Structure 1
Amino acid sequence: MSTGLADNVRKYRRTAGLSQEGLAEASDLSLSTVRKVEQGGHVSMETLHALARALNVSTSALFATEAPKSVLSTQDEANRRYLVELRRALMPPIALSAPLSEPVEAGELSSIRQGVQDGHALYQADRYGAVAKRLPSLLRTSEAAASALDGEEGQHAVIARAHALLLTGKYLTQVRQYDMAYYALAEAIRLARETGQTQLAATGVVGLCWLLLRQDRFDESEQLAAQTAVEIEPRMSEATPAQLAVWGELWLRVAAAARRNNRPDVANHSRRMAAAAGGALAREHADFPSHWSAFGPVTAEAKAVEDLALVGDARGILRRADEGPLSAKAVKNFGRLSANNWGRHRLDIARAHVLLGSHQDAMDELTNLRDTADVWLTHQPMARRVMTDILKTRKRTLTEDMRSMAAHLGVAG
């Protein structure tokens, strides 16, 4: 963790008149953890959130801007090689006159639309490698079509291009290639706005807020989502399900950013707005491409449970998972979570089991996710944190399944 962050924590602690022991007690953390932070050690976002609550400041107030540490990551090096074709297609070199990239024949609009739909289905099926292979061609042919066609057909080509960019940004955010993802999403939003596709542009904003949240840019994520939600607020009696879904997702983004930034009042209000959108839908809604992910009362409830995970309320997580829209018996009435949201919810449950010392229950959750969403799981820091905590706190000898899972997630035993 940066020395600037350590200095900020120390400054706010002293301003509050607290000793390190006092801050540890107020934040419900160990004294060794507080000392680790103030010595520049690495800690989780949950720990920083707990410190911000105890110090009565926003979480982002603890962050600092300074030069990054020199770290050689073999995984980052590998990702640069794996995604070289996608990078070339998304961000080709720009010259003063003629482009440096090879000319590409414009794709048929029907083929581009089908390509986006197929790519989205592969993404939802956790087949990230297949998505990465399809995107370069999709980006090149959609760009060529948008450049070659004019009139009404040209406008449809630009809209198809925006869809291709949105899929690209969503995929790159999932695999944590944030700079490339930002470029794709920003361009998708721009093209959607220029062609009057407000719903598509708002969908892009949902994705961009997710990216900002993953970068710990809480203030910007909250402000962008809230502003967009106000701009597209639907009339409940006339709104389509897709309009309600995107509006509800924006409020989920506001709530997630505000909760992580120690703004509980804003988070609670936003959760109520998302719940209102989910209630208006009555059950989970998914209708690609008018709406890019499932949303409804179950999603709204699952994201509210994430708040409990953030403050370490393990018993609250397990209780809420067995009642209301998230309970097994509610599926018939409310529908199911999307695969990704279901996986994230089960990781919250796994974390709750670890906090309560139920290591085998936590392992059961991880094993089930490995069976159903193998690749997705390897991209989840929460899964690695759960596994790390199991390794640290389990007093008995590790089982073979535990050692296998640790190796799968790249966690040192």
Structure 2
Amino acid sequence: MTAELGQRLKSVRKRRALTQQELADLSGLSVSRIRQLEQMEHQGVRLATLRQLAIALRCRTSDLQPNGATDTEHASVETSELWEPVRRALVAPPERPEDDDVPTNEAVDAAYRALMALVDAHRYRDIAAVLPGLLADAETLEGHEGRAIRARLLNLTAWMLVQNRQFDIAAMTVAQAIDVAPERGIAVGAVNAGVWSFLRQGDLAAAQSLAVKWADDIEPRFSTATPSQLALWGRLWLYVANVGVRDNTPGATDEALSLARAAAARIGREVLYDPNPNRPFGPVTVAQITAECAVISEQPSQALAIAEGLPTAILAPTSAPRLRHRLDIAHAHAQLRQFGDAVGVLRDVRSIAPEWLAQQRYARDILGTIVTERRTLTEDMRELADFVNLEY
């Protein structure tokens, strides 16, 4: 990827009649960094850096990333070991003893729904311990209902794998869930996990292609659509908006947000489109993503104004979208150099969902900015940096 990035960056810069120094001035990067990138002397270019260059060059971010993902961050050895039994259960389900009772649809579905309390609390260790046996039981289910239960379980498993940065096996699990699902309304839940995985890895083209394809495929008729149908469709457009702001295509972002906002207005409230408590959609969710887009486009005051106007009692404090929104608030404070406020938000998130925060590269990025910009660090800042494993 790095070689092609260097070639593309140099080509676009020359097409824009810019010197390396002029591009450095426009993008806010150093001229030595521009030189390194063009000469392919730098590994691991982040999506945020490519976006700075794309804005300066008046092109799409994805134009500078021909081979897709640029932000893939692999899990720690400890996290990978935690999820290895789940990986094995997905790849080669264990054979059941002949004298074992055959699992019923009702029993597997009840066990799946019982997991939601652990999911809501982000208790990944407990979830990883339960999933292998449950996945093995689900393998035996048949018929429309059995396939639906298995697809939902695979959907949840894929979501958990993405959350814990197990991207390769998550992609396989998404494909399995889509293949098993007896209807599109169930399959699209797994699609959401797939789009989110691409976004977490910075693969903008893949994320947009998957989201738009399925949004077009399941487009509801507003006059007769159920809240769940509208929510599934609207959530996909929120992903498209997320891609657009990262890809330096503000028009696409605005259009996608408008479509999602229309679906949310039609529903009129927050709804869960999946048993997973981290899958809400409605006016509050749309506003949160609008704030996220504002932060990414470096409009922190706008993001904070949106956050200030949101009701706090609609989404549970442990809901992943609300936690993610809290990180956006912390990021906005950091952009405004309100470092104490940013750290206060991160500290609150840690107290609510420590296992969730530990898996967030976003939190490391925010703290990295604070560590770089501050002359001295407080005890809270040092402790949080250690907790999220911020590299030196």
Fold conserved (TM > 0.5)? yes
The equivalent of 2:152 in structure 1 is 163
Change (3 A) 1:123 1:33: farther
| Offset of residue 6 of structure 1 | 3.0
Amino acid corresponding to residue 337 of structure 2 in structure 1: G
The equivalent of 1:257 in structure 2 is 243
The equivalent of 2:162 in structure 1 is 173
| Offset of residue 121 of structure 1 | 3.0
The equivalent of 1:318 in structure 2 is 304
| CA distances 1:183-217 after superposition (whole Å, capped 9, x unpaired) | 1111111111xx2x221112221221111222322
| Offset of residue 335 of structure 1 | 5.8
The alignment status of 1:47 with 2:40, answered yes or no, reads no
CA contact (8 A) 1:119 1:167 kept: no
| CA distances 1:206-249 after superposition (whole Å, capped 9, x unpaired) | 22111122232222221221222122122222221111111110
Change (3 A) 1:412 1:184: closer
Distance in 1 (CA, whole Å) between partners of 2:237 and 2:277 is: 15
1:322-337 equivalence runs, <5 A: 322-323=308-309, 326=310, 330-331=311-312
The equivalent of 1:394 in structure 2 is 374
The equivalent of 1:12 in structure 2 is 12
| Offset of residue 57 of structure 1 | 2.2
Distance in 1 (CA, whole Å) between partners of 2:364 and 2:157 is: 25
Amino acid corresponding to residue 374 of structure 1 in structure 2: P
Distance in 2 (CA, whole Å) between partners of 1:345 and 1:319 is: 13
Amino acid corresponding to residue 89 of structure 2 in structure 1: A
What secondary structure, in the 3-state scheme, does the structure 2 residue paired with 1:83 have?
A: helix
The alignment status of 1:234 with 2:214, answered yes or no, reads no
| Offset of residue 263 of structure 1 | 2.3
Amino acid corresponding to residue 323 of structure 2 in structure 1: G
The alignment status of 1:139 with 2:135, answered yes or no, reads yes
CA contact (8 A) 2:304 2:332 kept: yes
Change (3 A) 1:21 1:315: farther
Amino acid corresponding to residue 365 of structure 2 in structure 1: R
Amino acid corresponding to residue 102 of structure 1 in structure 2: E
1:320-399 equivalence runs, <5 A: 320-323=306-309, 326=310, 330-331=311-312, 339-395=319-375, 397-399=376-378
Length, aligned pairs only: 384
Change (3 A) 1:385 1:108: same
* Deviates further, 173-182 or 260-269: 260-269
| Offset of residue 170 of structure 1 | 0.8
The alignment status of 1:184 with 2:164, answered yes or no, reads no
The equivalent of 1:58 in structure 2 is 60
The equivalent of 1:210 in structure 2 is 196
Amino acid corresponding to residue 392 of structure 1 in structure 2: T
Amino acid corresponding to residue 385 of structure 1 in structure 2: D
| CA distances 1:165-190 after superposition (whole Å, capped 9, x unpaired) | 11111110111101111111111111
Change (3 A) 1:317 1:28: farther
What secondary structure, in the 3-state scheme, does the structure 1 residue paired with 2:195 have?
A: helix
Change (3 A) 1:65 1:251: closer
| CA distances 1:135-166 after superposition (whole Å, capped 9, x unpaired) | 101110110233xxxxxxx3322221111111
What is the identity percentage for the equivalent residue pairs of Structure 1 and Structure 2? 34
The equivalent of 2:118 in structure 1 is 122
| Offset of residue 310 of structure 1 | 1.3
Distance in 1 (CA, whole Å) between partners of 2:67 and 2:306 is: 38
CA contact (8 A) 1:169 1:184 kept: yes
The equivalent of 1:98 in structure 2 is none
Relative contact order, CA 8 A, sep 6+: which one is greater? Answer: 2
TM, length-normalised to structure 1: 0.86
| Offset of residue 299 of structure 1 | 0.6
| Offset of residue 362 of structure 1 | 0.8
What secondary structure, in the 3-state scheme, does the structure 1 residue paired with 2:280 have?
A: strand
1:405 to 355, 360, 384: 384
| CA distances 1:54-113 after superposition (whole Å, capped 9, x unpaired) | 2122212212549x9xxx98x5433343222111110018xxxxxxx4335431211211
Change (3 A) 1:311 1:31: farther
CA contact (8 A) 1:36 1:42 kept: no
Distance in 2 (CA, whole Å) between partners of 1:412 and 1:224 is: 33
CA contact (8 A) 1:166 1:184 kept: yes
